[in-house]
Structure formats: structure tokens, C-alpha cells
Amino acid sequence: MKPEKIKWGMVIDLDLCIGCQACTVACKQENNIPFVSSDQARMGRAIQWNQFITTVEDPLPHTKVRYLPRLCNHCEHPPCVKVCPVEATYQNPEGLTAQIYTRCIGCRFCTVACPYGARFFNWYEPEWPDEMKSSLNPDVYIRTKGVVEKCTFCVQRIRAAKDKAKDEDRELKDGDVIPACVETCPTKARVFGNLADPHSAVSKLSRSPRALKLLEHLGTEPKVVYLTERTWDESL
Amino acid sequence: MSHYNDFPKDDTALINPLMKKSGRWYYFTIACLSAIVAWGLFSWGYQIRNGLGVTGMNSPIFWGIYIANFVFFIGISHAGTLISAILRVTQAEWRKPVTRCAEAITVFALMVGPINVIIDLGRVDRALNIIPFFKYGRFESPLLWDVCCITIYLLSSVTFLYLPLIPDIAMLRDKYTKRRWFYRILSLGWTGSPRQKKVLEKLMAIGTILIIPIAISVHTVVSWVFAMTVQPMWHSTIFGPYFVVGAIFSGIASLIIAMAILRKALHLEEYLKPIHFNYLGLLLLTMCLLWFYFTFAEYLTTFYGAEPEHMAVFYSKLGGEYTYYFIFMILTCFVIPFIFLAPAKLRTITGTVIASIAINIGMWLERFLIVVPTLSRPRLPYEHGIYHPTWVEFSIFAGEVATLCLLYVFFAKLFPIISIWELREKHEDEEVTIKEKAVTTGSYEY
């Protein structure tokens, strides 16, 4: 696979998803996402690149709880990239909406412009419990207070897979890149791969009649595709 | 009501505040304002040290009162330059004692306003990254449009304030000994020769025309920071003109408040007369109605179209947690001003000042109601954000208001707040016409 032929994307099968949130935990671990106190979390300052958004419908006893794992959609036309004044977020040649943490001025224009709420801000200097400090991932840059961060599709794993393929003197093949959330999913609800390759698993699934994208009418062309048999309305 | 251009023949009332020894009240005011500024600076330091977590902002309400303040102060900055330019272009003769008060507000509000954006940055130390060409600034971002337009506006309004100041500065240099070195430098060797006058007039004529589009562009691009995103109730074509109208509205209100204070504090009753407040009150009334029209159009279109995402924001303001703010905004921006400005009887100094204070409170609320409710109702449903500004944010806001006042007080201490030469120019004109008349009728005695 040559770079110009790559469009990274993910499929999440909601009919397989059991809502265990293992992906959220794996993501937090993999990407050195800081912890916040419960008070701060209640204020809405928890950072979860892979977040479960839930709605509770109807009063008891016929309660219906619906949930949706929400992450950066790596839109083909990202509204956040347009507004960044310093090019701290940009679209890379492989379709990722990438971040340059060291350049970000923290104006939060991108967080405000993102219709998915997939971007997070470091309100304080990031902190980890003591037990976690020794297990930070050395492949992932640690953000400072005052910058914006979000899901990167585990860009460090993409890089590692490419290096490995190069070492083995072969081209990248489907299934080489496995982001943390995909790796950990117990029901295999998530598939990651190259959407531009018509034969990849992710590409085939994305063409399923069950396939849907979030807020498609905004023209952002998300590269995270959800599969569900349920009737779909925009409120999940 | 006396004539609007009927002023005392000698200008001691205008010179006294500059040349006389400052009174107790002056030092008291300076001390109070400085204390508030110092407190604001301390709060900012506290915020830089600890991070933006000390504010009430969160996800999804990523912007709070800093951005509302930014829009508010930029709005106030439209007080001056735009009004004075429009009055100059239309040759409204009553403008003369008003223009400089107005232009000074513009300059100082423009110095204070953009600071809010810098305060709002998570990484203030990287603020210079926004410089285009040399650093990473990119013109695709509406924030860069703001940076460009505001810089141009600040430079041009400083020029616009300074140019008509020169003859007065030269007069101060020639007639008085106090601060002579200071006035000598600033007067740029003005002698009042016909050539110099011609150049000044020409520059003023060009400036007057140029400043109008610049001023309009500034508030338009400020609104575009919101309107260029796809967020509900921000993504609106009406936002440019709506913001410009709101800006001029709150600008005139600030001007009236400033004039009333100056009138009392510097005893300028002979210069800033009820008739000036009356005329400004009429302008304010026009803007009040325009503002209501825009607000009505904006909300009715949203309501009638009834897109669920827009309606979520709409109902947060009418029925949700922002209802009282909204009602208070309508009261202070429309009902109270209308009651005090529409009947000629109430359009007195007190009446216009009451209306103006209400308007400034209301327009700040309007900015708050534009920034926050939209962010509190994201398109994807999850816990809606709740935002309560903290003491840090309020302290910084107070510090900014105090900074604006302090700069204004210093300005009024160093320069005549009413353009003396422009008033006198009128006197001379009048005397000439009287002389001419007298000569033609043969009744003038040499």
C-alpha cells in the first residue's frame, strides 16, 4: 500500500457492541490520557478520546438506554482543521486529522468547531495516579496543560506497523495496523484498516447496508462508520 | 435648550483639568482603578500558573465569558471612530464636542478587547505562533481575520484620534509651561500654517472615509468567528450585520455614559449640553430599534424553521436555564431604552444615561447568550454542559473594565477631551460671517 492509496478508517458494529467500555480504558492506557478527579469529571473535564455517549429514554420501567462509542471521525472535510489559526491540526496524506501538540496555542477554536465534540482540552497540567506513572507509553507524546488533544487512530501504531513492514521488506497489508481499542474489543465489534482499498475488511464492511455515519448531512464525510440494524435517528 | 454650537469664548474649563493641580478625587479614582487592575492581573497570573481549569469552562462549553468580553469590548470600540467618522462625513455640526470623547473610547476599548483572546489561550507563551509568514499563522482561520482587522483598526483609530489632536497639543505647547517637552514632541512642529492645515484636512478627509469600512469589517469578522462554524444558531448569515449593529448600539451607550461622567467630573456643562445627549439619544434609539429588528428576525427564523438542533439552543434561551438572562436582555436592550429614549421628554441627560447603562448590561448579556447556549447544546446528545464563571473570570473582567477607565482618565488628564481648535474654528467662521453681514449692512464699527 502506497501512502497516496491509504485512507485510514474504522468500522464499529453497534449490533456487536456490548458497551463494556474496554476500548475507552485501552485507549486511555495506550495514549497516555491523563486522569482527572471525580469533581473535575463531573464538571465535564474528563478526557476520553474514545467516549461512550449515552442517552436514557422513557421513564421507568420501560427504560431504554442507548449508547454510542464516539471518537474522532477523522473527517474527509474536517471543520476543525479549517479554523485552526496555527495549523496545529491538519489533514495528513493518509486522511488522518493529525495534531501538533507542541504548536497548539490552546484557543479551542477547533473544539468549538467540531460538531462531534471529539476534541478535548487539558484544563490543568495532566496527572496520573502513582501506579500509572511508571506505565506511560513511551511512544506517545505527553501533552501539557493548555493544549487540545483527541483520538489519533493510534498513529504511533500505524508508524510502528509501517516500520515493521519495511523491515520485513513488504508492503503494508490489511490487519497490520491495530489500534488499541480494536485490539481490546472482546466482541470484535471494531475493525480498522484502509478504506481506499476496496478489498480490505473495513472497506467491505463500510459498504454494508447497515452502515451509517454520524451527522452525515453536515458534509464532513466521517471515516468512522457505524453498523446497526436498529432504526437510526440523529439522537442515536 | 441652548444651541448645540454655542460654547464659552474662553476654554479655561477645558484646560483646567490638564493644568491645574489634581484634586483628591482624581487620586482616589486612580487608586481604586489601579487596585482593581492589580487584582485582575493577579487573577490572570493565578490562571496562567494553574491552567484554564480555574475558570468555569469545560467540555462542551469551551468558550466562556472571555470570548463574550472580547466581543463586548470590540463592540464598545465602535463607539467612537465609526460614530465620529459618520458624523464627520455627514458634516453634522453638533459632533464637535463629542468626537474626541468617542475616539478615545475606541482606542482604549481596542487595546483592552483583544487581551481577552490572549487570556483565553491555553498556552499564552505560544501566542506569537499566530503570526503569519514568519510563524504558523494561516489565513484560512477566521481568528487570523480578526487579528488582521483589529490590528488595522487599532492603528487607524490611533491615527484618527491623534491627527485632530495635533493643533490642540501645539496650543498647549505654546501657551503653557507644564509638560512642555511632552507636548513639544507630540505636536510634530505644528505651527498652524495654511499648508499644515491643508495637509491635516486632507488626511482627516481620507481617514474619515477609510475608517468606516475598516470599523465595519472588524465587527463583521468578530461575528464570523462564530458564524463560520456549523454550530446551531451560530451558523447564520445575519451575524455580520447583527454584530455591527449591536456594536454601534453598545458603543453609543458607552459614549453617553463617558460623556455624562466627564461632564460632571470636569465641569463641562457648557460644552456637553443636554442637546448633545438628545441627539445621541436619537441615534441610540435608532440602533435600539435596529437591534430589536435583527434579534427578532434571528429568533423567528430559527423558530419557524424549527430544526431540532437549532431548537435545542433556542429553547435553552426561551424556557431553559438561560431564560432569565434572555428576558433580562430584552428588558435592558429594548424595553428600558425604548421607554427612556422614545419620548422627547425623557430623552434628557439622566434618561439617556439610564438607557445607556441598561444597554451596556444588556449587550454584555447578549454576547454571553450568543457564546454559551450554543456550546451547551451539542449536536450529539450527551450530558449538556453547565457553565458558571468563577471568581477568576469575574476578577479579570473587572480588571479589564478598570484598565479601560484608567487609560481614559489618564488621557483626559493629558489632553483636552474636547477638540478645542475645532470648536474655535467654528467660532471664527461665525465671527467672519457676522463681520461680513455687518459690513454689507454698513452697521459694523471698525
For chain B, domains (ranges, CATH) are 23-425 (1.20.1630.10)
State how far residue B12 is from chain A, nearest Cα, in angstroms. Answer: 50
Structurally, chain A folds into a number of domains equal to 1
pLDDT of B437 higher than 80: no
What confidence score (pLDDT) does residue B436 get?
Answer: 55
What is the domain range of residue A96? 3-227
Q: CA-CA distance, A34 to A39, in Å (whole number)? A: 15
Confidence of residue B96 (pLDDT cuts 50, 70, 90): confident
pLDDT of B73 reads 94
Are residues B348 and B354 in contact, defined by beta-carbon separation less than 8 angstroms? no
Q: Letter for the amino acid at B53?
A: G
Predicted pLDDT at B446:
41
- Split at pLDDT 50, 70, 90, the class of B134 is confident
Closest residue on chain B to A107 (Cα): B121
pLDDT for B433 beyond 60: no
Measured distance CA(B222)–CA(B226) in Å, rounded: 8
Q: How many CB atoms lie within 10 A of CB B269?
A: 12
The CA distances from residue B96 to B4, B103, B421, B423, in Å, are 9, 12, 10, 6
Closest CA to B338 of B288, B268, B407, B377: B288
Return the higher-pLDDT residue of B97 and B327. B327
- Say which CATH number the domain at A74 has: 3.30.70.20
Asked if A27 and A207 touch (Cβ cutoff 8 Å), the reply is no
Distance of CA B300 to the CA centre of its chain: 29
Query: Residue A180 has what pLDDT?
Result: 95
- DSSP per-residue codes, B68-128: HHHHHHHHHTTTHHHHHHHHHHTT-GGGTTTHHHHHHHHHHHHHHTTHHHHHH-S-GGGGG
> For position B336, what pLDDT does the model report?
94
Residues of A in contact with B59 (CB under 8 A): 44-45, 111, 117, 120-121
Q: How confident is the model at residue B135 (pLDDT cuts 50, 70, 90)?
A: confident
Residue A236 has pLDDT above 50, yes or no: no
Cα–Cα distance for residue pair B73/B78, rounded to 1 Å: 9
Tell whether the model's pLDDT for residue B428 goes beyond 70. Answer: no
The answer to whether A150 touches A75, Cβ cutoff 8 Å, is no
The minimum CA-CA distance between B234 and chain A, rounded to whole Å, is: 10
Residue of B nearest to A53 (CA): B382
Angstrom distance (rounded) from CA A125 to CA A146? 8
Find the helix or strand (DSSP H, E) in which A190 lies: strand A190-194
| Interface contact flag, A113 B225, Cβ < 8 Å | no
Under an 8 A CB cutoff, do B225 and A105 touch? no
Give ∠ CA B8-B13-B19 in degrees, rounded to 5.
145
Is A141 part of any domain? yes
pLDDT at B443: 47
Give the closest residue to A234 by CA, choosing from B309, B311, B312, B234. Answer: B309
Q: Which residue has the higher pLDDT, B57 or B16?
A: B57
Question: What pLDDT, on the 0 to 100 scale, is given for residue B12?
Answer: 74
Q: Is residue A236 part of a domain?
A: no
Can you tell me the distance from the alpha carbon of A181 to that of B205, in angstroms, rounded to the nearest whole number? 66
Q: How far is CA B355 from the centre of its chain?
A: 16
pLDDT of B176 over the 70 cut: yes
Among B2-11, B175-184, B397-406, the range scoring the smallest mean pLDDT is B2-11
Which of B41, B116, B32 minimizes the C-alpha distance to B77?
Answer: B116
Cβ neighbours around A163 below 10 Å, total: 10
pLDDT band at B25 (very low <50, low <70, confident <90, very high): confident
Test mutation, A48, A55, A83, A234, chain B, max B CBs within 10 A: A83
- Of A177, A170, A226, A232, the C-alpha closest to A200 is A177
Q: Which residues of B93-103 are buried (b: 16+ CB within 10 A; e: fewer)?
A: ebbbbbbbbbb
Residue B386 confidence (pLDDT): 86
Give residue B178's pLDDT band: very low, low, confident or very high (50, 70, 90). Answer: confident
Contact between residue A185 and residue A23 where contact means Cβ atoms under 8 Å apart: yes
User: Cα–Cα distance between A118 and B206 in angstroms, integer?
Assistant: 49
Q: From CA B155, how far away is CA B169, in angstroms rounded?
A: 20
Give mean pLDDT, residues B310-318.
90
Residues in A touching B130 (Cβ below 8 Å): 85-86, 105
**3-state DSSP percent of chain A in helix, strand and coil, to 5:** 25, 20, 55
pLDDT in tens, B333-382: 999 999 999 988 888 889 999 999 999 999 999 999 999 999 998 888 76
pLDDT for B81 beyond 50? yes
Compute the count of residue pairs across chains A and B with CB atoms less than 8 Å apart. 143
> In this predicted model, what pLDDT tens digit does every residue of B258-274 receive, in sequence order?
999 988 888 888 888 88
Cis peptide before B60 (omega within 30 of 0): yes
pLDDT tens across A18-76, in order?
889 999 999 999 999 999 888 888 888 999 999 988 877 777 787 777 788 999 999 99
Domain-embedded: residue A142: yes
The single-letter code of the amino acid at A202 is V
ipTM confidence score: 0.89
Confidence (pLDDT) at A4: 57
Using CA coordinates, name the residue in chain A closest to B146.
A85
pLDDT above 90 for A192? yes
Task: Identify whether the C-beta of residue A152 lies closer than 8 Å to the C-beta of residue A58.
Answer: no
Which residue type, as a one-letter code, is found at position B139?
F
Query: What are B109's three cell numbers?
Result: 476599548
* A115·B142 Cβ contact <8 A: no
CB pair distance less than 8 Å for B231 and A113: yes
> For the segment B273-302, what is each residue's pLDDT rounded down to a tens digit?
888 899 889 999 999 999 999 999 999 999
Confidence of residue B384 (pLDDT cuts 50, 70, 90): confident
- pTM of the predicted model as reported, rounded to 2 decimal places: 0.91
Using DSSP's 3-state secondary structure scheme, residue A122 falls into coil
Give the per-residue pLDDT at A148. Answer: 95
Give me the pLDDT at residue A76, please.
Answer: 93
B68 has a pLDDT exceeding 70: yes
State how far the Cα of A101 lies from the Cα of A85, in Å rounded to an integer: 14
Q: Position of cell 422614545?
A: B342
CB contact under 8 A, B123 and A147: yes
Number of C-beta neighbours around residue B298 at 10 A? 16
The Cα B188–Cα B179 span in angstroms is 15
For B192-244, write each residue's pLDDT tens digit. Answer: 888 888 988 899 888 888 888 999 999 999 999 999 999 999 998 999 999 99
H-only helix segments in chain A:
22-30, 38-42, 79-83, 109-113, 130-133, 155-167, 180-184, 201-206
pLDDT value for B1: 44
pLDDT at B34 > cutoff 50: yes
Cell numbers 485507549 correspond to what residue?
A27
Report yes or no on A138 lying in a domain. yes
Whether residue B60 and residue A44 make contact (CB cut-off 8 A), yes or no, is yes
Answer whether residue A102 shows pLDDT above 70: yes
Query: What local confidence, expressed as pLDDT, does residue B426 receive?
Result: 60
Kindly state the average pLDDT of the residues B85-106.
Answer: 84
Size of chain B, expressed as the number of residues it contains: 446
Q: How far is CA B269 from CA B4, B10, B261, B392, in A?
A: 12, 14, 11, 39
Q: Is the pLDDT of residue B2 over 80?
A: no
- Which residue numbers of B have CB closer than 8 Å to A's CBs? 50-53, 57-63, 117, 120-123, 126-127, 129-130, 135-138, 140-144, 147, 225, 228-231, 308, 375, 378-383, 385-386
Share of chain B above pLDDT 90, in %: 50
